[in-house]
Amino acid sequence: MLEVRGVSRRFGGLEALVGVDLVAQAGQVVAVIGPNGSGKTTLLNVISGVLTPDAGTVRWEGRDITGWPPHRVAHLGIGRTFQRPRIMETMTVRENIGLGFLFRARGLPVPQAMAMAQEVGEEVGLGDRLDVPAGDLTYIDQKRLELARALAGDPRLLLLDEWLAGLTEGELQVGLELLRRLRAQGKAVVLVEHVMSAVRAIADRVVVLHAGRKILEGEPEEVLKHPEVVATYLGQDTGC
């Protein structure tokens, strides 16, 4: 279980996060929504170890991991994708995925890692492009690749930063199906997302951030219907 308690983080005069709480259980998808600049990515950065919070704690499976560096966080079974896919462009798709196997807690030797990469590549729909340089992939495929690399790390918690953004309706359904499968495997997912139809379809809980503060939390139906959310953060277009 992921347990974020009272996390605050400031950048100069800007309060990016103020006393934020977040809990994600195994087999649960928690969506974090809010307007741009509300602190969603900062929250993921605090959990994955990119940033150390000024106050508050991050606990994972009972252990206090506040301020741990990203590689140690990764070794605990926490995988991450980024808003703009961060892939290794000159490496092949197989090698990119292989990195996850190579450097996870009990990393595999190179031949096994590269062999296992095939399986995960196929799972996310990149089975036919394993030997293509990752830089040649489309934007959507790069997102898939990033998830595949995270999955290769054998995560029990996935932090996905706008992973479903920019997908066509068909691709969105495939993406949602993949997330459902991961949830069914017992993985916890924290999903920073703008695509409200996806949030409604997949999230078990929704957390709303505004100006670094958590202003609402609850079931998707109830949160997304909340007048404040509708009016202030999502405009009229809640069904998008």
Which residues would be at the binding site for other proteins (CB under 8 A)? 48-50, 69-71, 74-75, 79-80, 82, 86-92, 95, 98-100, 102-105, 107, 109-110, 131, 133, 146, 149-150, 153
Q: Which is nearer to other proteins, 56 or 153 (CB)?
A: 153
Please, what is the minimum distance in Å from the beta carbon of residue 61 to other proteins? 17
Bin 158: left if φ > 0, else alpha if -120 < ψ < 50, else beta: beta
- 130 within 8 A of 93, measured Cβ to Cβ: yes
Q: Which is nearer to other proteins, 161 or 193 (CB)?
A: 161
217: Cα within 13 Å, side-chain hemisphere: 10
How far apart (Å, rounded) are the C-alpha atoms in residues 197 and 40? 18
Q: How far is CA 135 from the centre of its chain?
A: 21
Q: Which is nearer to other proteins, 153 or 220 (CB)?
A: 153
Question: Helix 139-152 and helix 169-184: axis angle, to 10°?
Answer: 10
- 32 within 8 A of 43, measured Cβ to Cβ: yes
Q: Which is nearer to other proteins, 74 or 224 (CB)?
A: 74
Please, what is the minimum distance in Å from the beta carbon of residue 86 to other proteins? 4
Please, what is the minimum distance in Å from the beta carbon of residue 128 to other proteins? 15
Please, what is the minimum distance in Å from the beta carbon of residue 171 to other proteins? 22
